[in-house]
Every structure is written in structure tokens, then in C-alpha cells.
Structure 1
Amino acid sequence: MPFKKLHSHILEKLESHEITAPTPFQKASIPVIKSGANLFCVAPENAGKSTTLLITTLQKLKCEEVGVAPRAIVLVENREKVIELSDLFLKYTRHSSLRVYMCDDKLHIDVLKSEIFEGADILISTPVTMNKLLLLEGVNTTQLKILSIDDAAFLSKTTSYTALMAVTQSLHKCQYVVYSETNHPILKRLESQFMQYSRTVAI
């Protein structure tokens, strides 16, 4: 069964990458994410989590740039993951007006600030770098619609977890989607912080 009710740009890109039907995980999770609920997505490797994160982010932003303030943030473990996920997003945002910005922690924070200030729709970052940007008022979060966390097990590291808590406390209301390969104990901690009333899709 093909993907349903997605923006035509997303469907076109999925087809060009020969992805014609959703995985069982995508079938269960995408409608819930589209509904706007906070969600824990638990599924093994190769279940289609990264593609789900990508599809739902693009869908939420209607595949077009708006204003200059970011409307989606994706948090990942480290610089390698930032680059990997940015590359994936760029494959799907080519030929759209969406602006994806990779927060490379090897760049000076003032460089990141000035480049984000010029306009970005999607920011991909580590929690630590995002927290630094927010502390320096380097990101306007008033338009933020969705914050996703990829492979959340890394939040068991104190520095990442502490930075994430600081980030979520700085944000206005937005949707949170947390992806994990297992029902890691860290998910329970998140539930008591900013994921109250969340739903879970587990495959």
C-alpha cells in the first residue's frame, strides 16, 4: 500500500529513491506524528525511523520556506550524526525552497549564530551546541513547530541530557518526537520532564 496524504514533493522524492510503500513502523507512526501528538517511536534498526523523521518534518513544514526563524529542530548524538542526517535531508529538500542548516560544532558559535540569522527552516544539531546557541540568543524559537530526537539512547550521557533539559526549558510550545531502537530507561526520564501525555508507537 502506498504512502497516503503526503505533500506531492515528498511523494516525488520517495519515488525517486525507490521507496514506494511504508514499513509497518511508518504506517503506525506517521499518522500519529501528523496529528501533532508528542510521541515516543520505538523500533529496531532498519525499521524506517530516519525516513519517518524526515518525512514528518518536511510534511509539517509543507516543503516550503517561511520567514527566517527555524520551524524544526532535530537533535542527534554527535557531529558525525549531524552530517549524516543533514546529507539525508538535503537529498529530499533539493528542488524545494526549504533551508536545512547543519550546526557544525567545529565552527565558532558566532558563525553559527550569524548564518542561522540569515534564515533556516530546519536546524540539525547536538543538544550541547543547540543549548549554547539558545544561551547566546542565537536561535529565534518563536516559530518552532516540531523538535525531534534521533536515536535517543545517547541521552544517557549526562552532558547531552543536561543540555537537552536546558533546551526544552527555553522553548515555546512545540511537538516533541523521540526515536529510539529500544525502550531505553532514558525514555521514562523524558516522560517525566517534557513528554507528559505523550503516546508511544513500538514495533
Structure 2
Amino acid sequence: MPFKKLIEPLKNILEHKGFSDPLPFQKKILSKIKGGASMFAIAPRGSGKTTSIVISVIQKLKGKAFEDAPRVLIFVKDKQAALNLELEFNAFKRGTDLRVYCAYEEKSIDDQKDEIYFGTDIVIATPKRLNKIFYLNGINLNKLQMCIVEDADFLLGNNAFAEVTRTPESIGKCQYLIFSENFDKRFERWQDTFMYNAQVNKL
């Protein structure tokens, strides 16, 4: 997908940052994501995976805030990963009114429930904290359009894999995007359930 097909605020930011054309992996996946495909996006660091997430989310939401319930959920490894991704969104969403919120263990869960209740479009969360907030009825997932995992390698070898696997049980129709450096055999379980029709795109 050429950058010229993006919404105006995104085009302006990309031009300001000196990005004239997508990277090779971005050329491969951005138009498919825009078309609504669920996907495993497998590529090494430096291939533009995180920027692809940010661009795809802002484009999907058309740069506009809407009601209170989040429309995008992004799972990340930890607090630092959440804050880093929030910085990326803040850099690219200038000129829009999208709201981004981070949920992680090192903050009061009651405060997080209240802050999410007041309205957000994009929630960036660790799996453990998201599930705890959800089971305390602190987040409405009924409006989700995209569920994303950034750098999914972190899920392997701990309970986070099971926590992410449980989340789709509470979501209706949704686009799932898994970004990772490697395709682990455990991802095949997702292909057999909520990602049974997902594409696998590798660089």
C-alpha cells in the first residue's frame, strides 16, 4: 500500500519524517492489513513491524476518536514496551484525536479501570494486566476491531501465551495481527481456533 493512500494526517507525518515509500516488508503486508486480513507477520528486527502496527491502526480508525470502548487492543511484553509503543503512536497520531492508553502491572488497577472507563480508542497492555482488568469488568471488548500482539516472541515460555489465548473467547468478529521474529509451532494452536483463516507473511 503506497503511503499516498493513507489518511491525510498520516501522510503528513510520514512526509515530515522523511518516509517516502514503505519498506519491503511493509509493502508486503500493509495493503493486506488494510483489507482486513488476519495475519502472522514474521520478520526480523528493523523490517518496520512496529511502524506497520502504528500506521495500520491509525488508518483503520481513520484518525478519529469514537465513543468510549476501545476498538484496538495491543498486547506487549512489559511496561517499557507499552510506553515505547505509546511514544510511537503519539508521534504518528498528531493531527488526529485518537486516544491511547497503557495498562501494565506497576500501576493501580483501580485507577486503570477508571481511566479506561472514561474512554479510549487504543489500549496497549500486558496480557496479565489486561486479563485482570477484564475479569474485574473494567474493560469492554465488544467494540474491538483489531487485536494485535507486538513482538510475540515474548509469549513463549511463560503464562502470557495462555492469557492471550483466552482473550478471543470474549471478542466477537475481529482482525488478529501477530507480529514476531519467528513463527513458533505454538502459533499453530491459534490457526486451529480464532486465527484459522489467517495469512502467514514472512520476510
TM category, shorter? over 0.9
Q: Hey, what does 1:122 align to over in structure 2?
A: 122
Q: Percent identity?
A: 34
CA distance in 1, matches of 2:52, 2:116: 25
CA distance in 2, matches of 1:108, 1:137: 15
Unpaired runs of 5+ in structure 1?
none
Asked if 1 retains the 8 angstrom alpha-carbon contact of 2:72 and 2:147, the reply is yes
Cα shift readout 1:78-97 (whole Å, capped 9, x = no counterpart): 11111111111111123321
Q: Hey, what does 1:78 align to over in structure 2?
A: 78
CA distance in 1, matches of 2:132, 2:73: 14
Asked if 1 retains the 8 angstrom alpha-carbon contact of 2:37 and 2:198, the reply is yes
Unpaired runs of 5+ in structure 2?
none
CA distance in 2, matches of 1:139, 1:183: 30
Q: Hey, what does 2:164 align to over in structure 1?
A: 164
The two structures have a TM-score, normalised by structure 2, of 0.95
The alpha carbon displacement at 1:2 in A equals: 4.8
CA distance in 1, matches of 2:141, 2:2: 35
CA distance in 1, matches of 2:179, 2:108: 29
The alpha carbon displacement at 1:104 in A equals: 3.2
The alpha carbon displacement at 1:176 in A equals: 0.2
Q: Hey, what does 1:13 align to over in structure 2?
A: 13
Q: Hey, what does 1:146 align to over in structure 2?
A: 146
Question: Where in structure 1 do 4 or more consecutive aligned residues deviate above 3 Å?
Answer: none
Q: Hey, what does 2:25 align to over in structure 1?
A: 25
**Correspondences of 1:1-203 after superposition (within 5 Å):** 2-203=2-203
Greater shift, 44-53 or 166-175, is seen at 166-175
- Aligned residue-pair number: 203
Cα-Cα RMSD: 1.4
The alpha carbon displacement at 1:71 in A equals: 0.5
SS of the residue corresponding to residue 95 of structure 1 reads coil
CA distance in 1, matches of 2:2, 2:70: 30
Asked if 2 retains the 8 angstrom alpha-carbon contact of 1:147 and 1:175, the reply is yes
